């Protein structure tokens, strides 16, 4: 049910330019849902027709309006200039109370300028670790409301005064706090005879910085010590293809113990299958997967870097290894956690407190404060 509101602004427009759905999109969609449910503020996703972004937003029950553009594969200032007048007309059609909420630097370049030309309040939500070159700094400075999702991301915006930026943690709606019984059944066929498998997982796109190749090297080291270990990879192909990972697993002698499960949603159900999650990625802005794991009570081992460091410092739920830890050091950490998982898993009460801290209602209330401030400043 949608709440009534006395807000003098709205709708909130969430423009996106690409097709691929990531954590920033999911967080923005949950925000849009909570704005409607808890504050009576309508959120509208502007996306390329037939894109994964448009499809996912629609599946989550959001209003999705077409941008009329093909999904962008790279930033293209020339194309943005050519489309500027059309984008101005599009934003103008939503009325003078609209707020343009950009969730990445691409949409800020593509739609932020059009919003500013109309005098609409502009929010930039900084959700990635980026090199902020002079042009990007200029884009960010035109925003009246600037939000970041972690202290690590805040460092990118060091060129701005501290009071210009507000840190708001991403929302995690209705988190699963305990893995459902029997969820590992699908993978029991891969178990050794007369033994329960120990499922060790990787969840993420197959990017260089996520290091799925390093994960496989760690798996080989674990396999030499634990015959019950089986390894599961969930994710989409990016820099690495599935064939690349299969070939590496074969070279390491663990091909018969590896399951390439592909991309599956919702991600927390992937985590629920695991006995331990390994997250060797560098440069995570915050890391939804680690938070979902700690909420589920699934222990993890992760690199002590960027958002991973912040998550463990704030809540624990797993252990960290040095960013340049060797394969054996990473494997040692995993074996220690598997031996005594209760040493790192949060209690159910602690997980409930984290869930409340990260609820969409809490998140939307903090974002509404930003909207009110910039709308009031304009008035």
pLDDT tens track for 197-218? 899 999 999 999 999 999 999 9
Euclidean distance between CA atoms 226 and 212, whole angstroms: 20
Q: Which of the two residues, 169 and 184, has the higher pLDDT score?
A: 169
pLDDT tens track for 279-314? 999 999 988 899 999 999 999 999 999 999 999 999
Please compute the mean of the pLDDT values over residues 245-251 and round it to a whole number. Answer: 97
Report the percentage of the chain scoring pLDDT > 70: 94
Spatial CB neighbours of 307, under 8 Å, sequence gap ≥ 6: 150, 152, 153, 284, 285, 286, 287, 290
**Chain position carrying tokens 């059009």:** 114
pLDDT tens track for 63-96? 999 999 999 989 999 999 999 999 999 999 999 9
pLDDT tens track for 100-152? 999 999 999 999 999 999 999 999 999 999 999 999 999 999 999 999 999 99
The pLDDT confidence band at residue 8, using thresholds 50, 70 and 90, is confident
Q: Residue 104: phi, psi to the nearest 5?
A: -160, 165
The pLDDT confidence band at residue 191, using thresholds 50, 70 and 90, is low
Per the DSSP assignment, residues forming a β-bridge with 44 are: 13, 63
Two structure tokens written together for 273 = 């299958």
Please compute the mean of the pLDDT values over residues 307-323 and round it to a whole number. Answer: 96
pLDDT score, position 379: 43
Two structure tokens written together for 81 = 């200039």
Euclidean distance between CA atoms 195 and 300, whole angstroms: 23
Domains of the chain: 12-172+359-378 (3.40.50.2000), 185-356 (3.40.50.2000)
- Judged against a pLDDT cut of 90, whether residue 7 lies above it is answered with no
pLDDT score, position 188: 65
């Amino acid at each position: 049910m949608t709440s009534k509101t006395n807000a003098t602004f709205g709708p909130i427009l969430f423009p996106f330019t690409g097709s691929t759905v990531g954590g920033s999109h999911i967080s923005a969609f949950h925000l849009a849902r909570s704005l409607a449910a808890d504050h009576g503020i309508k959120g509208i996703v502007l996306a390329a027709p037939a894109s994964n972004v448009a499809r996912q937003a629609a599946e989550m029950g959001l209003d999705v309006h077409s941008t009329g553009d093909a999904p962008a594969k790279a930033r293209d200032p020339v194309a943005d200039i050519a489309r500027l007048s059309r984008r101005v007309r599009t934003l103008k059609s939503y009325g003078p109370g609209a707020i343009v909420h950009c969730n990445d630097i691409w949409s800020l370049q593509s739609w932020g300028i059009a919003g500013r030309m109309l005098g609409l309040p502009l929010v930039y939500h900084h959700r990635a670790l980026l090199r902020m070159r002079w042009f990007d700094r200029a884009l960010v400075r035109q925003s009246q409301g600037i939000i970041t999702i972690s202290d690590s991301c805040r460092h990118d915006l060091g060129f701005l005064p501290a009071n210009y930026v507000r840190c708001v943690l991403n929302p995690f709606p209705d988190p699963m706090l305990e893995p459902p019984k029997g969820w590992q059944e699908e993978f029991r066929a891969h178990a050794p005879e007369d033994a329960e498998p120990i499922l060790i997982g990787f969840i993420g796109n197959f990017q260089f910085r996520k290091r799925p190749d390093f994960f496989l090297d760690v798996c080989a080291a674990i396999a030499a010590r634990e015959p019950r270990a089986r390894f599961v990879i969930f994710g989409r192909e990016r820099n690495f293809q599935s064939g690349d990972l299969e070939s590496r697993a074969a070279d390491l002698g663990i091909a018969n113990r590896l399951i390439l499960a592909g991309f599956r949603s919702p991600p927390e159900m992937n985590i629920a299958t695991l006995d331990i999650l390994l997250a060797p990625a560098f440069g995570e802005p915050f890391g939804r997967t680690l938070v979902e794991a700690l909420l589920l009570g699934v222990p993890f081992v992760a690199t002590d870097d960027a958002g991973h460091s912040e998550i463990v410092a704030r809540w624990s739920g797993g252990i960290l290894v040095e960013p340049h830890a060797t394969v054996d050091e990473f494997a040692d950490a995993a074996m220690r956690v598997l031996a005594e998982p209760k040493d790192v898993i949060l209690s159910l009460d602690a997980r409930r407190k984290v869930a409340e801290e990260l609820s969409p209602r809490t998140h939307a209330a903090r974002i509404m404060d930003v909207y009110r401030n910039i709308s009031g400043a304009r008035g």
